Amino acid sequence: MQEFLNTQNFTIYFLILIVIKFSIETYLKIRNLSSIKENSSEIPERFKNVVTKEEYTKSINYNSDRLKFSIVTSLFSVGVLLMFTLGGLLNSLTEVVIGVTSSNVIGAVLLGLLLIIISEIIELPIAIYSTFVIEERHGFNKTTKKTFVTDIFKSLLVSGVLTSVLYATVIYILDNLGDLWWLYAFAAVFVLQAIIFFLYPVLIMPLFNKFEPLDNEEFKKPIEKLLEKVKFQSKGLFVMDASLRSTHGNAFFTGFGKNKRIVFFDTLLKTINPDEMEAILGHELGHYKLGHVRKMLISSLVFGFVGFYLLSEILKSDNFFISHGLDNLTVYSKFLLFYLVLGSYTFFTKPFAASLSRKREFAADDFSFQFTDGEHMISGLLKLSKDNASNLTPDPLYSSYYYSHPPIAERVRSIEQKLEK
């Protein structure tokens, strides 16, 4: 492997992959825009009794605006990546850090914090436009300027603390534990992530939202019966003040072990009825009962293990990092550059991961169908789709590459076929 790493011109590979990734993704977005436009004149047959012409027009305009903006932001992201790498920004920041400290651990923390702060500043115009122009234009945004600014500082604080601990731990292990450092670092990162995942619902999420116990008996009773039926234990049922920022509705699980919680957006409770909520929750329970969470954890372990091994080999090759614009070759700058460019070398895995995710979503729908009413599940999904202005006619190639969930029409058709049996 070292012979390969030391003899290849990775600058060319890097640029070619960036162009291929951007070209593929832009092509798919244009296809999706065309699909939306081609189907804009008439509401799809299955949705004629679900959405009004006004609601369908809103969905078309909203998704078109988001797609057009995503093409711009993708090009912007390419520019930022090239600026950090071949443009020499990461190299310059490393030089500044070297002038401040000779410690690799402290250097890793400082460089990591600089990257977080600079990235936040660079991406700020995108966040502002997305929130206060696109989401505002289509009636979804409820975020005030005060909340927006407060969220930025809270996010910087949380990400700064967590990444500092992560980087410091990995670099300390790399410096002190010999050739098998990558194995110890992999284990340490796994433990840290498990701790964060466990504490996330009780320490981090409350920094951004308020969580109140679900006290609406009309919703609470059928949910508790369903939990008992499928033998699922949780820390509790909570309502999150999502309406503070948006009118979008959702429900999710968070945490694991004794900290498992079921969270409903307050906006969702205003949209669907208790029977529909039960069916939607049945889908989420399906992910747990079918072992999807465990399988995802195992997959992340495998990829993490392989990733750290590859990193240990690549760190031995100065050529790889010099080819990506890094001359100040400290262990921490090499570590951070590796993760900056990793996405450009692994983007082709995205459609495979999305395909696997969609299969699991269908399986979770099947699980819910066994324990709840299929008609209520359909009506709940359709309401969610309508209220979130989901794209009702996505291009098949686009959805196969990007969608982690099957298009709403496919999910509804699958449930209807089960009802007909």
Residue 222 in this model has a pLDDT that exceeds 90:
no
Q: Are 281 and 251 in contact (CB under 8 A)?
A: yes
State yes or no: is 327 an active-site residue: no
Q: Which helix (H) or strand (E) holds 119?
A: helix 104-129
Contact call for residues 171 and 104 (beta carbons, < 8 A): yes
In the predicted structure, residue 308 carries a pLDDT above the cut 80? yes
SS3 state at 213: strand
Residue in 175, 284, 373, 375 annotated catalytic: 284
Q: Which of 135, 278, 365, 387 is catalytic?
A: 365
Backbone angles phi, psi at 247, to 5 degrees: -95, -5
Mind listing the pLDDT tens digit for each residue in 359-383? Answer: 999 999 999 999 999 999 999 999 9
Candidate from 110-119, 242-251, 312-321, 325-334 with smallest mean pLDDT: 242-251
Instruction: Determine the pLDDT at residue 132.
Output: 96
- How far apart CA 90 and CA 83 sit, in angstroms, is 8
pLDDT digits (tens, 9 = 90+) for 281-299: 899 889 888 988 888 889 9
Whether the pLDDT of residue 206 is over 80: the answer is yes
pLDDT (0 to 100) of residue 258: 66
Which pLDDT belongs to residue 257?
Answer: 65
**CA-based torsion, 9, 14, 19, 25: positive or negative:** positive
How far is the C-alpha of 253 from the C-alpha of 266, rounded, in Å? 15
Give the pLDDT band (50/70/90) at residue 233.
Answer: confident
Q: What is the pLDDT of residues 139-178, one digit of tens each?
A: 999 999 999 999 999 999 999 999 999 999 999 999 999 9
Kindly report the three-state secondary structure assignment for every residue of 276-295: HHHHHHHHHHHHHHCCHHHH
Indicate the residue type of 186. F
3-state secondary structure of 254: strand
Q: How far is CA 23 from each of CA 16, 20, 28, 74, rounded to the nearest angstrom?
A: 10, 5, 9, 10
Catalytic site residue 284?
Answer: yes
Helix/strand/coil for 239: strand
Tell me the whole-structure pTM to 2 decimals: 0.90
**Residue 59, both tokens:** 């969905």
Q: What values do phi and psi take at 250, rounded to 5? A: -170, 170
How do residues 26-38 score in pLDDT, each as one tens digit? 999 999 999 999 9
For the chain, give the percent of residues with pLDDT over 90.
71
pLDDT of residue 306: 94
DSSP 156-206: HHHHHHHHHHHHHHHHHHHHHSGGGHHHHHHHHHHHHHHHHHHHIIIIIGG
- Contact in structure between 408 and 382 (CB atoms under 8 Å): yes
pLDDT of res. 363: 96
Name the pLDDT band for 4 (thresholds 50, 70, 90). Answer: confident
The pLDDT of residue 237: 86
The 10s digit of each residue's pLDDT in 397-409 is: 999 999 999 999 9
